[in-house]
Chains A and B, each alone.
Chain A
């Protein structure tokens, strides 16, 4: 006889309540704003999908998205290969392995706004070590006024801050490869490149997938560091999506469009992450891991 007992349901209830209060309810208030407009006095009226249409057609949003995509692509193209490269050259065991790990992990421990501040000061042309030295060498570097300088500074800052994450994950993946694989490759007379291509890379695929996904999501949502460093400037050249969103929501207090923007932003990240994950898992399968 089949026993029907659905009491276990109650055990899920606390989690549902928690998620409800922490995620669903705030999200619903955003949804609420995104379909209404107000002329003050706390009087709202229904505008339907007007804000969404406006945002989707706004050049400002398009530009911010374009900058965001370029930024994310560039930093991933640098951080993933660089992370793999560094992890391959770290000592495998002994005291130096621990020393390297601690040094590598340091940037990850620094609060994000402090990272921004460090680079903000580091790059200043009057008192910053980097900015001042570059200018003393005759290189015209000023991230406050020059768009290229601002971009380069932000990218270097991000690489400095986040490559460590890729290194640590790859390093963990490499450590999990049994020694016998390297021996077998040696006996097979495999070259260094073959060892990387056919042993290390396939065995690292799993962690590399996680690293890429994390780096994608984090960089697509980047706010604090560029905000502290350039405030989105000069002009608008480093105004990424989240900076633009905050300007709109808090600077201009355009709650309706900002709410619509948030939702589109959120769905975009969700969508790209999903696509990304699907592609990576397929590669993963093909690599036989």
Chain B
């Protein structure tokens, strides 16, 4: 089983919604579409489901062209951000509804519904109406409806976005298990990098209607192949600064420099962009190979165990994420440090030229 998108483009009213998408999804894989709102995740899913037809390009299912095929004939399952259930039916009937439409026998339906209800932990609520359920339970019911169909392609469009934090964590851990047995292809859209990492599998990062990278989730995270992917797959987004490489020196800020090591040493001399993740910024010089900066502290946000620092360094706004509480003066110059192991080097056009050495070791 495989789903293949071949050079798929979608234009709506002259506006480009999706641009030359090439993607092959394999049987039994979890595929995360990661990108901010309006990146094109939902548009892409609608094409995969067959709700929309691409302007150009082909969609292949098991090698067979299904581009213009009606959604009714595709046998896909979809779960939405809103909790979509049939309001007048009980949970039991809701779960049974796809099977009833397939004209299954009552005995088959009974077995399937009971089994599915157990997987989604809804066995006690089968007699209730959707509106008598909590948000999390409503979404469980919707997941069960998708699960019971036994579709080869299951599309989950930000299924947890409308749930509160606690329920979200609970369901997020359960969703991969729920669908594990089915061996279907999963596509899971989310705006949150953490969610992508927790779900594992493969990740496709999306930005303005393009897929910027598609690979194993950890691979995409550790070695983003360009600045856009790095920005999308980091929360808060990756910080950047300009650096110049001359010989074995890497110059930054007001002429400070460190020794160029590892892959960075192999680069040609010239101007580059260096990027690093917020959690790698430090208040103390920990490593010997540290870069030191002086940045202006604009805002601090304390979340409990961590503190967000919003900094201004030359032309760039940075965010630092550090452990614990710190007594810092707003508006003052703050010395911050960065282990050189943690910097990614990008070319001027945004392509990754040297990944951070900590990430290649991982």
Contacts and interface: CB of A to CB of B under 8 A. Distances in A.
A189 B98 CA distance: 8
Interface in B66-109: 71-72, 76-78, 80-82, 84, 86-89, 97-98, 101-102
Contact of A289 (B77, B82, B88, B98): B88
Given A181-B84, A287-B87, A188 B97 contact: yes
Given A183-B51, A188-B101, A189-B101, A288 B89 contact: yes
Contact of B101 (A180, A194, A286, A289): A194
Interface in B123-151: 129-132, 145, 149
Contacts of A286: 88
B49 interface: yes
A21 to B, nearest CB: 43
Given A186-B71, A189-B72, A202-B87, A288 B131 contact: yes
Interface in A152-190: 178, 180-181, 183-184, 186-190
Contacts of B89: 198, 288
Contact of B86 (A187, A189, A199): A199
Nearest to A289: B87
A184 B84 contact: yes
A181 B81 CA distance: 11
Nearest to B131: A288
Nearest to A190: B101
A183 B87 contact: no
A92 to B, nearest CB: 16
A189 B130 CA distance: 21
B84 A180 contact: yes
Nearest to B146: A187
Nearest to A187: B78
Contacts of B78: 183-184, 187
A184 B130 CA distance: 15
A184 B88 contact: no
Interface string B246-270: 0000000000000000000000000
B130 A288 contact: yes
A215 interface: no
Given A187-B49, A188-B98, A178 B72 contact: no
A288 B88 contact: yes
A288 B72 CA distance: 27
Nearest to A287: B88
Nearest to A178: B82
A186 B51 contact: yes
Contact of B88 (A178, A181, A198): A198
Contacts of A199: 86-87
Interface string A197-230: 0110111000000000000000000000000000
Nearest to A197: B88
A186 B72 contact: yes
A180 B80 CA distance: 7
A190 B87 CA distance: 15
Given A178-B82, A287-B87, A187 B77 contact: yes
Contacts of B84: 178, 180-181, 184
A189 B103 CA distance: 11
Interface in B192-214: none
A187 B82 contact: no
Residue with the highest number of chain B CB atoms closer than 10 Å, among A180, A184, A186, A287? A184
Nearest to B74: A187
A277 B170 CA distance: 42
B88 A202 contact: yes
A187 B156 CA distance: 13
A184 B77 CA distance: 8
Contacts of B130: 288
Contacts of A180: 80-82, 84
A289 B131 contact: yes
Q: Which 8 A-B pairs have the closest CB atoms?
A: A288-B129, A202-B88, A287-B88, A184-B84, A202-B87, A198-B86, A189-B72, A180-B80
Interface of B: 49, 51, 71-72, 76-78, 80-82, 84, 86-89, 97-98, 101-102, 129-132, 145, 149
16 contacts: A180-B81, A183-B80, A184-B78, A184-B80, A187-B71, A187-B76, A188-B98, A189-B72, A194-B101, A198-B86, A198-B89, A288-B129, A288-B130, A288-B132, A289-B87, A289-B131
Given A183-B78, A188-B97, A287-B88, 18 more contacts: A181-B84, A184-B78, A186-B51, A186-B71, A187-B49, A188-B101, A188-B149, A190-B97, A190-B101, A194-B101, A198-B87, A198-B88, A199-B86, A286-B88, A287-B87, A288-B130, A288-B131, A289-B87
